[in-house]
Amino acid sequence: MNRIDPETAPATGAPVVVFDLDGTLLDTAHDLIGAVNRVMAEEGLPPIEVDPHRVTVGRGGRAMVAAALAAAEVPHDEERLDRLTLRFVELYMDNVADRTVPFPNVEAALDRLAAAGIVLAVCTNKRVGLAEALFAAIGWTDRFAAVCGGDSFDVRKPEPGHILLTIAAAGGDPAAAVMVGDSAADIDAARAAGIPVVGVTFGYTPTPVRDLGPDAVIDDFADLWPALLEIAPPALAARLGATDETAPIGA
């Protein structure tokens, strides 16, 4: 599934939509915070609630473990945080898809874009092994031309190279690309890469996504198609416009 070497990726230069994972495609918060809470239980510490910690999810496992320790008013050094983050990853891997579901209308939107001949890719700061295990568990293994994680390259969001290398790995054309994401890392990376970006309002960000400066905002994946038509570079817009441009994407 994962073609992360831009040297060997097919240079098709295809129109491509790149998706963030946590908080954009999949509602992963319950399983992530569940794993944090299993770490807390092992340490004899109290659990955290999904709310208000849901907003921390976009900052990764280490930040979530740190937030849980802070909530328990436990002082922690880097060594303890490293150890507990590793344990978190092990426990998350064991229950990676217990309560994780796609956000509404995601699968219909992906199907419709794929049917229009648009290359789909995932650029996540999640470890790529976790992303692949999660996709296998929910039957998404063949959905994407490339799935690139926070450890796939030497760069990760908000560095623009993470998105650009993901596009290369998928055989996409960065001049015919749009990013879709939920947090500052996604929007900052896309802007730095010169790629238009759609922000979703249902993800994991302490700052409302509208305030992060995306080119378009959607509340539901049913609205992705018209948002893409508005902001996509010409080669991608042409591919979208060549198919039915009036129906909502989830229809």
Binding-site residues for Mg(2+), in ranges, read 20, 22, 182
**Catalytic residue from among 20, 27, 31, 188:** 20
From candidates 2, 9, 14, 23, binder to ligand PGA by CB under 6 A: 23
2: Cα within 13 Å, side-chain hemisphere: 20
180 Ramachandran zone, left/alpha/beta (phi>0; psi -120 to 50): beta
Pairing mode, strands 119-123 and 101-102: unpaired
Provide the mask over 60-99, with x wherever binding to ligand PGA is found by CB under 6 A and - wherever it is not: x---------------------------------------
Contact 128, 23 (CB under 8 A): no
Tell me if 160 contacts ligand PGA by CB under 6 A: no
Tell me if 199 contacts ligand PGA by CB under 6 A: no
Contact 190, 159 (CB under 8 A): no
Q: In this structure, what are the phi and psi dihedrals at residue 168, rounded to the nearest 5 degrees?
A: -60, -45
- Which does residue 196 bind out of ligand PGA, Mg ion, none, counting CB within 5 to 8 angstroms by kind? none
From candidates 58, 158, 174, 214, binder to ligand PGA by CB under 6 A: 58
Q: Which residue is nearest to ligand PGA (CB)?
A: 60
Please enumerate in sequence order all residues whose Cβ is within 8 A of that of 191, keeping only pairs 6 or more positions apart, or say none: 197, 213
Is residue 20 flagged as an active site residue?
yes
Task: Provide the token pair at 132.
Answer: 């692949």
From candidates 20, 31, 132, 215, binder to ligand PGA by CB under 6 A: 20
DSSP helix/strand/coil, 160: helix
121: Cα within 13 Å, side-chain hemisphere: 31
Nearer of residues 32 and 237 to ligand PGA, judged by Cβ: 32
Tell me if 125 contacts ligand PGA by CB under 6 A: yes
Q: Which residues bind ligand PGA (CB under 6 A)?
A: 20-23, 58, 60, 124-126, 150
Q: Would you please indicate which residues are annotated as catalytic (active-site) residues?
A: 20
